[in-house]
């Protein structure tokens, strides 16, 4: 077991960076190019608000699918667990994140869970607000509060790229409309989903989200509970079974704590009662997970004893 220090994190970054070589940068994201391939940054914030960072931790990248955990928290708050899970399942699935067969192959045509695209679009449709603008600003304000960072913003370029590359998500959304899963305006739900994916963050921010999930959903400034513990448990359990695309089982075994990744190379980790972890590493594997970031997550688990399935329960 090693001690969590900035020096340790610097070493861990250098040990993990070579894994970037086996991944590829997602060039469909604006300004993402080969020069980003070796980037790797990490931030860890502990319950007692100590913050440790290393590597490219100030590089901002779009949230992409890490937005799914934040959207789910808001929808649970707005509609309650029962209504949310009437529309979306909570079962892991053995298929790619944009699978449409999965929607068709079961009786209910309910998306398997909120961590896949179809599920997250259905969840986005459950975020309340008087107008589309209002729904997005609720989301952004919630993010700013949880990360204690009022500089967060949506990248117009990323948003435009999301829209320009939206055929598959549009197909998923109209499929859900055809089966009655999506009953609100399809284009509005998609638009909010695209905007949510386009908020820019660095690994410090991702770690703040992890800490928020790990330690009671409290505002870092006021200590006030913004999301009740039972909703956070739900979100973390779903991250564990489904947060890392169709490598979720692998990460449950090898990291052993709840994570959520995005195709920008982002990863949020939440170690209950202990810390939040944020990682950025733009080279991703064919499943959508950061290759160097994933290696780093597994190393942290082993070195710092973060595997929840250890014999000391989250400490072994």
- Check the CA dihedral 17-22-23-27 and report its sign: positive
Tell me if 98 is assigned to a ligand binding site.
no
Cα 59 from chain centroid (whole Å): 17
* Residues at the contact surface with a copy of itself, assessed by CB under 8 A: 89-95, 99-106, 112-113, 167-168, 170-175, 177-178, 186, 214-216, 229, 232-234, 236-238, 240-242, 246-250, 252-253, 256, 258, 271-274, 307-316
236 is catalytic: no
Annotated catalytic residue within 37, 52, 68, 235 = 68
Check the annotation: does 133 bind a ligand: no
Catalytic status, residue 287? no
Of the residues 139, 159, 245, 251, which is catalytic?
245
- We find the least distance from the C-beta atom of residue 175 to a copy of itself, in angstroms, to be 4
Judge whether 187 is annotated as a binding position. Answer: no
Which residue among 16, 65, 99, 301 is the active-site one? 65
Neighbours of 121 (CB within 10 A): 27
Quick one: which of 296, 276, 305, 247 has its CA closest to 92?
A: 247
Helix axes 186-197, 67-87, angle to 10 degrees: 150
Which residues have a Cβ under 8 Å from the Cβ of 82 and sit 6 or more positions away? none
State the minimum distance, in angstroms, from the CB of residue 80 to a copy of itself.
14
Name the helix (H) or strand (E) containing 9: helix 6-16
Q: How far is the CB of 292 from a copy of itself (least distance, A)?
A: 21
Instruction: Phi first, then psi: give them for residue 37, nearest 5 degrees.
Output: -55, -40
Active site residue 193: yes
CA dist., res. 69 & res. 65, Å (int): 8
129 or 220: whose CB is closer to a copy of itself?
Answer: 220
Active-site annotation holder among 43, 193, 199, 298: 193
Which one, 130 or 311, has the nearer CB to a copy of itself? Answer: 311
Sign of CA dihedral 17, 23, 27, 33: positive
| Minimum distance, C-beta of residue 176 to a copy of itself, in the bound complex (Å) | 8
As a whole number of angstroms, the distance between CA 140 and CA 154 comes to 8
| Residue 81 bears catalytic tag | no
117 among the known binding-site residues? yes
Check if 245 is active-site. Answer: yes
C-beta of 150 vs 286, nearer to a copy of itself: 286
Residues in the chain: 316
Q: How far apart are CA 167 and CA 279, in angstroms?
A: 29
Q: Nearest approach, Cβ of 224 to a copy of itself (angstroms)?
A: 15
H-run or E-run covering 278: strand 275-280
Q: Known binder of ligand: residue 104?
A: no
The reply to whether 307 sits in an annotated binding site is no
Q: Of the residues 84, 263, 277, 279, which is catalytic?
A: 263
Which of the residues are catalytic? Answer: 65, 68, 193, 245, 263
- Residue ranges of the annotated binding site for substrate are 65, 117, 162, 169, 193, 245, 263
- Residue ranges of the annotated binding site are 65, 117, 162, 169, 193, 245, 263
């Amino acid at each position: 077991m090693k001690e969590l220090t900035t020096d340790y994190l610097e070493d861990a970054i250098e040990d993990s960076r070579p894994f970037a070589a086996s991944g590829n940068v997602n060039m469909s994201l604006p300004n993402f190019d080969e020069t980003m391939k070796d980037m790797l940054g990490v931030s860890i914030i502990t319950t007692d608000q100590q913050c440790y960072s290393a590597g490219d931790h100030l590089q901002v990248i779009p949230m992409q699918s890490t937005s799914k955990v934040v959207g789910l928290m808001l929808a649970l708050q707005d509609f309650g667990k029962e209504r949310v899970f009437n529309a979306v399942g909570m079962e892991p699935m053995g298929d790619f994140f944009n699978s449409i067969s999965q929607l068709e192959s079961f009786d209910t045509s309910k998306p398997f869970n909120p961590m896949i695209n179809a599920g997250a679009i259905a969840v986005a449709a459950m975020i309340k607000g008087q107008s589309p603008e209002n729904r997005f600003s609720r989301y952004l304000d919630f993010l700013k509060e949880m990360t204690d960072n009022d500089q967060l913003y949506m990248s117009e370029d990323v948003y435009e790229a999301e829209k320009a590359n939206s055929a598959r998500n549009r197909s998923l959304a109209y499929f859900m409309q055809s089966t009655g899963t999506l009953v609100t305006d399809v284009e509005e739900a998609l638009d909010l989903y695209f905007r949510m994916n386009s908020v820019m963050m660095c690994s410090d921010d991702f770690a703040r989200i992890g800490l928020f999930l790990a330690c009671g959903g409290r505002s870092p400034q006021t200590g006030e509970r913004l999301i009740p513990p039972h909703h956070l448990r739900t979100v973390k359990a779903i991250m564990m079974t489904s947060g890392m695309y169709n490598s979720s089982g692998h990460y449950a075994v090898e990291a052993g704590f709840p994570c959520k990744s995005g195709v920008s190379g982002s990863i949020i980790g939440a170690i209950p009662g202990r810390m939040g972890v944020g990682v950025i590493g733009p080279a991703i594997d064919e499943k959508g997970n950061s290759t160097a970031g994933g290696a780093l997550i597994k190393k942290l688990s082993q070195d710092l004893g973060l595997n929840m399935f250890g014999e000391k329960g989250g400490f072994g």
